[in-house]
């Protein structure tokens, strides 16, 4: 099998994975507290080409590409005024903590509401926690002091879906919690759209390479092979 087919196919697979991440970012361009993902690619080991007659080295040939790693950009986004007393935004570092059926999870989405019994909960109904792990109650005036919400530093923060992160808490976050505001999405729609177009062009280039190789092999089999 022609080596070029493998090289082009590996590049197309890497771009497909990249496009999935970019599409997810674009879908969350309006999600409060959402953090965008970044990916880097690496090439497989290179093969040194040489002249079969003289032995002179010609140069290296890459054998394909793959996604090297995926990183979540945790940079703070600007806060937007909502006027809702149970909306909370974080300026700086830190995460809110909520208690879920899978254990304590962390989020930057401070769009909270009143749950059963007057408990402060997130959009999925999970109780929001204080710094000591207790729950919070919404006051008779429908508010909760921002200072009562827990704010946690998180080591090895990892996205697990629904705006949630897992990780190891490491003391109180150094950021500031403000009520009546929400952190905007960390997705830059212009940059992300450009990234999507660039990835699509790279994917299409891989397709063209495969088509060209296929046509070359077809000619080799049907035309060159038929020469007397």
Same domain, 111 and 69: no
53 pLDDT band, cuts 50/70/90, is confident
Same domain, 208 and 175: no
Short-list 45, 49, 65, 66, CA closest to 57: 49
Same domain, 86 and 177: yes
CA distance between the termini of the chain: 25
Which of 166, 183, 200 is the last residue before a domain boundary? Answer: 183
Same domain, 97 and 158: yes
Give the H/E segment covering residue 168. Answer: strand 164-172
Same domain, 138 and 197: no
Same domain, 125 and 220: no
User: Which has more pLDDT, 61 or 211?
Assistant: 211
Same domain, 106 and 121: yes
Cα–Cα distance for residue pair 73/20, rounded to 1 Å: 16
Same domain, 170 and 136: yes
The vertex-36 CA angle with 33 and 39, nearest 5°, equals 160
What is the span of the domain harbouring residue 151?
79-183
Same domain, 39 and 129: no
Q: Report pLDDT for 60.
A: 67
Which of 152, 167, 183 is the last residue before a domain boundary? Answer: 183
Same domain, 110 and 168: yes
Using alpha carbons, list the distances in angstroms from residue 175 to 106, 178, 183, 192. 15, 10, 12, 27
Classify residue 220 by burial, with Cβ atoms within 10 Å: 0-12, 13-18, 19+.
exposed
Give the H/E segment covering residue 71. Answer: strand 65-72
pLDDT tens per residue across span 14-37: 889 889 999 999 999 999 999 998
Q: What percent of the chain has pLDDT over 70?
A: 90
Half-sphere exposure of 64 (CA within 13 A, CB side): 14
**pTM above 0.75?**
yes
Domains: count for the chain:
2
Same domain, 171 and 113: yes
When mean pLDDT is compared across 26-30, 152-156, 214-218, the lowest value belongs to 214-218
Q: Report pLDDT for 62.
A: 64
Same domain, 155 and 193: no
């Amino acid at each position: 099998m022609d080596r070029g087919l493998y090289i082009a196919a590996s590049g197309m697979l890497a771009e497909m994975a990249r496009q999935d991440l970019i599409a997810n970012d674009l879908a969350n361009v309006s999600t409060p507290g959402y953090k965008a993902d970044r990916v880097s690619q690496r090439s497989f080991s290179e093969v040194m080409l040489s002249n079969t007659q003289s032995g002179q080295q010609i140069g290296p040939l890459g054998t394909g590409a793959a996604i090297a790693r995926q990183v979540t950009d945790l940079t703070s986004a600007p806060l937007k005024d909502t006027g809702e007393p149970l909306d909370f935004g974080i300026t700086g570092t830190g995460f809110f903590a909520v208690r879920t059926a899978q254990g304590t999870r962390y989020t930057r989405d401070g769009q909270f509401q009143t749950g059963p019994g007057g408990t402060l909960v997130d959009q999925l109904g999970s109780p929001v926690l204080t710094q000591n792990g207790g729950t919070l109650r919404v006051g008779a005036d429908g508010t909760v002091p921002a200072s009562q919400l827990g704010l946690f530093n998180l080591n090895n923060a990892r996205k697990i879906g629904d705006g949630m992160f897992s990780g190891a808490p490491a003391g109180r976050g150094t950021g500031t919690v403000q009520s009546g505001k929400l952190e905007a999405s960390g997705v830059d729609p212009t940059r992300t759209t450009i990234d999507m177009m660039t990835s699509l062009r790279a994917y299409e280039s891989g397709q063209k390479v495969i088509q060209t190789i296929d046509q070359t092999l077809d000619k080799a089999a049907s035309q060159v092979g038929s020469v007397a």
